[in-house]
Amino acid sequence: MTVETSHKQDPLILKYGRRVAQIAGDIFRDEKCPKGTTLDSITQELWLGLCSAAQRGVLDPLKSAKEHVRRIYLS
């Protein structure tokens, strides 16, 4: 998935960029993900969950994104 935007100006990336990368790494390293799961796929799903939660107006979009990833990869 490639997104052609001025991503350095995106408020979500400015606010959550490092945290998303850290969470993705933690999930990839610490959780029992299915075989074949990549760090990139976890990161993409975190961003999708974060953007979706932000659009819905969720108060804690990062928490919602983590739950989204755990439902996909750990259930």
The pLDDT of residue 7 is above 70: no
State residue 38's pLDDT score.
93
What confidence category does residue 8 fall into, taking pLDDT thresholds of 50, 70 and 90? low
**Mean per-residue pLDDT for 1-21?**
70
| Pair of tokens at residue 9 | 């100006």
- Note the residue count of the chain: 75
Instruction: Report pLDDT digits (tens) over 20-64.
Output: 999 999 999 888 888 889 999 999 999 999 999 989 999 999 999
Q: Are 63 and 47 in contact (CB under 8 A)?
A: no
Domain ranges of the chain: 10-73
pTM of the model: 0.79
